[in-house]
Chain A
Amino acid sequence: MRSPLATRRALFSRRGIIQGAAERLLAGTAVMLGAATLAFAALQLVPGDTVAVLLGPTTTASPEIRQQIRTEFGFDQPVPVRYARYVGNLLHGDLGSSYQLQQPVSKLINDQIWPTVQLTVAAVAVAVVIAVVSAVVTAGRRPALRATATAWELVALSTPPHWLGIMLLTVFSFQLRIFPVAGAQSLSSLVLPAVTLALSVAGVLGQVLREGLEAALEQPFVVTARSRGLSQSAVRLRHAFRHAATPLLTLAGWLTGTLLGGTVVIETVFSRPGIGSLTMQAVTSRDLPVVLGVVLLSAFAVVLIFTVVDLLHLVIDPRLRTTEAAL
C-alpha cells in the first residue's frame, strides 16, 4: 500500500544538504559582489578630491604632481573602466594600496588579521563551553540552582568588557603575575582577552541555550525517549541538546561576526595587534583603501560565518532540507 506521501518522496538527506550548500554559496557570492559594489560606490561619493585626501590637508602640490597621482592611481579613467578593474583586482585578492603606509592593503590586513581571528575563535570557544555547561547542568533542575546560573549569566552579559578586562589585568597580570600584561606572542597572552570577551557572550548564549533545552524537554518525544529507559542526562545530550542547538548556533554566528569587528576595545586594553587597531588608524587618517579593505573583509567574514551556520542548521535539522508545499 502506497501512501500519497510516498509519491512526493522527500529529498534525501545528502542531496538536500548539497543542494542547500550550493544555494547558499551562490547567495554568498552575490552578497560579496554587492558589498564590493557598494564599497566602490561609496568611494566615488566621498566628498572632495581624492587626491587632496591622499596628499593630506596641509600639503600644497602643483597641478603636475596632482595629474601624475591621478594617472598613477587610475583616477583619470571613466567610472565603468575603474569598476571593472577594481572587481578584477578583487578577484585576484588585490585590494589596492594604502595611501598612508604605501603597502598593499591585502598585506596590511594579512599581518593584522590573525591575532584577531585567534582572539575571536578562542573567545567564542570559551563562551560556548561555559554556556553549554551552565545550561545543560541547570536546565529544568531545582529552582535554586537554576536561579543562581541565571543570575551569574545576567551579571556576565551586563558587565562592560573593557572594565572586566582592566580588572582581570589588575588581578592576574599585575598582582598575581600569571599572565602577560600585553602583546600577542604566546598562548598565555591569549587567555585574559579571550576570557574577557567570552564572559558576556557566554551569558547570552547560556540564557538562550537553557531556554531552548527547557522547551525541548517539554516535548512529547522526551517522554518517549525516557520510556525507552534512557537516563535524564542521556535524554538531555542525545535528544534535547540538538533541538536547543539551533537557536544557539544562530546567535553564536551572529556574535562571532560582531566580535570580529568589536575587538577594538579589548585589543586596546590588552595592547594587542589586530584588525581593530588597523581600522582605528585607517579611519583616523582617512586611509580609504584600508577602510574599504576592512569593510570587504567584514562582509566576507559575515557571509562566511552565516553560510557555515546555515549549513550546520541543515545538518542538525532534517526538516529544513525539504520545503513542503503550502497547503
Chain B
Amino acid sequence: MTMPGAADHPLLVVDGLDVTFHPGSGPVRAVRDVSFTLGRGECLALVGESGSGKSVTARTLVGLIGARAAATARRLVFDGRDLSTLTEPQWQAVRGRRIGLVLQDALVSLDPLRTVGAEVAETLRTHRVVDRAEVRGRVLSLLTDVGIPDPRQRARQYPHQLSGGLRQRALIASAIAAGPALLLADEPTTALDVTVQAQVLDLLRRLKHSGMALLLISHDLAVVAGLADTIAVMHSGLIVEQGPTDRVLSSPRHPYTRALLAAAPAMHAKGARLSDAASGQPAAGPDGCPYALRCRLADQRCRDELPAPADAGPGHGALCWYPMAAPEETPHRLSVVETARPPAPRGGLLIEAESISKRFRSPDQTWHHAARDVSFQLRAGEALGLVGESGSGKTTVARIVLGLLEPDEGTVRLAGAPWNGTANGAGASAGAAGQSGGRIRERDRRAYRRRIQAIYQDPMGSFDPRYTVERIIGEAVAGPRRGRDRRVKIIELLDQVGLAANMLQRRPRELSGGQRQRVAIARALAPSPDVIVCDEPVSALDVSIQAQILDLLTALQRGLGVALLFISHDLGVIHHVSDRLLVMKDGRVVETGDVRQVFSQPVHTYTQELLAAIPRPGKAGEAEVGQHATVPP
C-alpha cells in the first residue's frame, strides 16, 4: 500500500510550510514544517484541537492568512503552479475557481443580508463561469446538486430562513459553483445535528467521488474517519502523525493521537475516564516537543529536542521519540456491554415533571409546540440525559424545569413541593406555592432556587465580563457573606472543579474555554444544589477539553450525589454521563429508558436513526449515513 497522493502528479504538494504571525507581541509560529500531498479525488483530513494550526494551513492554500502573517514553504505547488509566488490578482483568479473554501456555521459564513441564490451566483459572476443570462439557471442546478429541495424558492431566501443543514449545503454550493479541483472544508459539520451531519458528510463524499480533491479539517477524528484517505493529526502547528486512515485509527503511534481517540466519548466505554490524567509535567523548552507538557511518556529528551519523524509503516509516520508500538486495547465501538460503572445510588424523587406543554407563536402566526405532554422524573443523585436535535424542545424543557419559563399546562415539582406550572391542590400545603392554588409565583420560588442550578453551553454569556472569578463564584456562595471564610469556601469550590487558587483574580476573558466551564460548574456548586441542569455544557469545547469536563461532571455526580439533568444533541456525550435517557423530537418524548437499553435496543425509529447517524471510525465508510440521508444522486 502506498501513501495516497504519492502519485506521479499530485494535485497539491505542500512541503515544509511555515506560517508565523506577527501580532503586537512576539512572533507566533502557527504552522511548523507541515508537509503533505493530495491527489485528485482524494481526501486528506487535518485533525487537531483549536489553535493547532489546521485552519491556518487551509487558509494559506487560498492566500487568506492576513497581512500580519507570513508563510514560507520549500514547495507549495497546486496543479503545477507555485502558489507562493502568486500576486493578489492571481490569487483572486485561483480562489473560488480552482480552490474552494467551506467554513463552519453557514449562518455567519454566508452573508446574512443576501439571499442564498445571490451568494451562489457571486462565485459564478466573479469568474464569469457562465453567461449572465444563464447564471440563474446554473444557481438552481447547483442547489439541486447539493440536495436542496425546492431550489427556486430556497434561492430567494436568506440564510436565517434555512435550516442548518440546508444552509451548509448552500455554502458548499457556493464553494463548488465554479468547479474547483480542490475543496477546503474547515469544520464543515461542526455546528450540525448528528443526522444532518451525516447527510453533509455524504454530500462531501459524493463530491470526492466526482473527482474533487478534499482537504477536510475537523477537531473530531470520528467525523473524518469515514471520508478521509489520509489523516494528518496536528498539534501546536506540527503534524505529529500522518498516515492512511485505517492505520492511524487502528494503530496510532503518537500519544496525542491516542489521547484524541480516547477522548471521544462515543468511542469509549461508558463511565470510564476520558481524559488523560497526565498534567503538571514540566514545560518543554523552545525546541522541545510541544506535546511533552501533556504527555505521560515525556522525558528530558522530549523537552529539549523536537522529535525526528518515526517511520511506522508505509506512508505512516509519527513525530515522536517514543512512538507507541502495539496498539493498546482501544474500544473503537460504542460499547453496549458495560462494566465500568456501578449504577448510581438512587434517592428520593427530586424533580417530577407532569405532562408539561409549551407553545410559542411562530412568525407566520401558527403555533409552534416546543413541548407537548412531557413527563419525567429525576431522582436524587441520578443523571438523566435529554437528547434531541435542535428545535426538539430540549431547552424549553430545561427552562421550565429551572422555573424560568412557565408551562402552558402541566406541573413541575421540586423535592415534592410545587415548583412551576399549575399547583394543584394535593400536596400544595407546604413548599413553594404555600397555601395559594393556581400559578406559582417567583416570590414563592426564591427560597428554593439554590437547590437547582444550571450551566450552559457558553459560560461567557452567563458571566459579567468585569467580575473576577472570585466575585462570580462568591455571588453564588450560600454561606459566609464576606471575609476569610468566604474566600476559603471559594477556593474549596475551585479545588473541587480542578482549578488552582491563583485563578481567583482572573476575569472571564483571561480564561480558556475549559477553565470558563469549570468556573461555571464551581458557581453552580456554590449553593450546594440538589440538581444541576446542564444545557449542552460541552458542545463548544474541543474534544480533549470536553473529555475533562465530562469526567469532572461524572465525578461530582458520584462524589457529591448531585443529580444531573444533562441536555445534549450528542449521543456519545449523553451515553457517557447519563443513567437514564429521554429522546425528544418535535416537542415530544419519543423514547425513554435505561441508557444501555436504549442504546442496545432502540425502539423508536427516530432513536434508531440517531444512533445510526453517529460517525465513528469503527464503521465502514458507506454505512455511516443514516437511513434518512437520502441525497439525490
- Chain A residues near B (Cβ < 8 Å): 1-13, 219-221, 223-231, 234, 238-239, 242-243, 316-319, 322-327
Contacts and interface: CB of A to CB of B under 8 A. Distances in A.
Contacts of A2: 149
Contact of B95 (A3, A221, A226, A323): A226
Given A227-B101, A229-B127, A318-B113, A10 B96 contact: no
B122 A8 contact: no
Contact of A227 (B100, B104, B112, B360): B100
Given A225-B122, A229-B97, A231-B92, A1 B149 contact: yes
Given A1-B630, A229-B97, A230-B122, A220 B109 contact: yes
A6 B163 contact: yes
Contacts of B110: 221, 224
Contacts of B103: 220, 223-224
A223 B100 CA distance: 11
A219 B159 CA distance: 15
B586 interface: yes
A187 B370 CA distance: 62
Contacts of A322: 161, 363
Residue from A9, A11, A242 whose CB has the most chain B CB atoms within 10 Å: A9
Nearest to B59: A223
A221 B108 contact: yes
B625 interface: no
16 contacts: A3-B163, A220-B104, A223-B64, A226-B62, A226-B64, A227-B62, A227-B64, A227-B96, A228-B95, A228-B96, A318-B160, A319-B158, A325-B360, A325-B362, A326-B360, A327-B360
B171 interface: yes
A221 B100 contact: no
- Interface size class on chain B is 35 or more
B363 A325 contact: yes
Given A5-B391, A327-B370, A228 B109 contact: no
Contacts of B94: 229
A3 B196 CA distance: 10
Contacts of A223: 59, 64, 101, 103, 109
A324 B166 CA distance: 18
Contact of A243 (B64, B104, B113): B113
B85 interface: no
Nearest to A246: B113
A316 B112 CA distance: 10
A219 B115 CA distance: 17
Contacts of B105: 220
A76 to B, nearest CB: 52
Contacts, number: 124
B306 interface: no
Contact of A221 (B112, B123, B586): B112
B149 A319 contact: no
Contacts of B178: 229
Given A219-B108, A327-B370, A227 B363 contact: no
Given A226-B95, A228-B123, A229-B126, A9 B113 contact: no
Contacts of B88: 231
B628 interface: yes
Contacts of A1: 149, 628, 630
A316 B64 contact: no
Contacts of A4: 163, 391, 586
Nearest to B585: A4
A323 to B, nearest CB: 6
Contact of B364 (A9, A220, A316): A9
A230 B158 CA distance: 20
A224 B174 contact: yes
Given A228-B122, A316-B113, A5 B100 contact: no
Interface in B28-82: 59, 62, 64
B36 to A, nearest CB: 20
B496 to A, nearest CB: 32
Nearest to A232: B88
B111 A221 contact: yes
A172 B503 CA distance: 64
Contacts of A324: 363
Interface in B139-162: 149, 156-158, 160-162
A105 B565 CA distance: 70
B165 interface: yes
A222 to B, nearest CB: 8
A225 to B, nearest CB: 7
Nearest to A227: B101
Contacts of B362: 8, 325
Contacts of B363: 8, 10-11, 322-325
A215 B105 CA distance: 18
A318 B630 CA distance: 31
A88 B47 CA distance: 74
A223 to B, nearest CB: 6
Nearest to B66: A223
A239 B589 CA distance: 43
Contacts of B630: 1
Contacts of B100: 227
Q: In the complex, which of the residues B100, B109, B175 has the most CB atoms of chain A within 10 Å of its own CB atom?
A: B109
B96 A229 contact: yes
A11 B110 CA distance: 20
B560 interface: no
Contacts of A228: 95-96, 122-123, 126, 174-175
A229 B108 contact: no
B364 A10 contact: yes
Contacts of B341: none
Given A3-B163, A10-B157, A327-B360, 15 more contacts: A7-B366, A8-B364, A10-B161, A11-B364, A220-B109, A221-B108, A223-B64, A223-B101, A223-B103, A223-B109, A224-B110, A227-B175, A229-B94, A318-B160, A319-B160
B329 to A, nearest CB: 40
Contact of B109 (A11, A221, A234): A221
B22 interface: no
A155 to B, nearest CB: 27
Interface in B172-204: 174-175, 178
B478 interface: no
Contact of A5 (B89, B104, B112, B163): B163
A9 B94 CA distance: 37
B444 to A, nearest CB: 24
A224 B109 contact: yes
Q: Which of A12, A219, A228, A234 has the most CB of B within 10 A?
A: A228
B123 A229 contact: yes
A220 B391 contact: no
Interface string B380-410: 0000000000010001100000000000000
